[in-house]
Amino acid sequence: MSAEKPARRRDSARSKELLVRAAGELLAERGFERTTVRDIGERAGLDQALIARYFGGKAQLFIAVLRAEAGGELELDLLDPERVGELFERIGQRGPGPIFQAAVQRPRDPAVETATHEELRVRLIAPLKEAYERQGLDRPQLRAEVAVAAFVGVLLGRGSGAFEELADAGPQELLPLVQSLLSR
């Protein structure tokens, strides 16, 4: 009588979650171009072939990371000091996510470019544009884009080493300055 090995049960939901988490970490650390599917598989502790199986490829996994980062919250209200403070803390701990990276560097993959730009528009630019429209300000789209670009610049500049005081300033010190910039 031969003992058969029990069939190993796959937990696709858990595997997808691990891949998205690993990809999100690596993308924040390295960006899209320098993150490989092999690295993602290794970080997740899974076979890299599962990326193609579950997502279709690295670009589609990247898009899944964007959606997961939204966590059901599509709009990031940059006029809310508490929300801006949370962003400072999160980016200070984990680095800038794919949306912030896409604001300063164009992805080579057209699907990734489309997805990140849409997420940037929906989550950051559109809410500011609507707030500026309610305030009756002229050129609300342009104002929103300039404000988001400035905000992203502040976030990225803190970690660049080029701006000593900016890097040393804590979120509580920066919040009033950033809020003043965004609300004008």
Same domain, 67 and 92: no
Of 35, 57, 72, which marks where a domain is finished? 72
Per-residue confidence (pLDDT) for residue 164, from 0 to 100: 92
pLDDT tens, position by position, for the chain (184 residues)? Answer: 555 555 455 688 899 999 999 998 888 788 778 899 999 999 999 999 999 999 988 888 988 887 777 665 556 678 888 888 887 787 777 777 777 777 887 878 888 888 888 888 888 899 999 999 999 999 999 999 999 998 888 888 887 889 999 988 887 888 888 888 777 6
Same domain, 92 and 148: yes
Q: Are 79 and 147 in contact (CB under 8 A)?
A: no
Cα separations in angstroms, 30 against 39, 56, 182? 11, 21, 28
Of 47, 72, 97, which marks where a domain is finished? 72
Q: Are 100 and 91 in contact (CB under 8 A)?
A: yes
Residues 6+ apart with CB under 8 A from 137: 143
Same domain, 153 and 174: yes
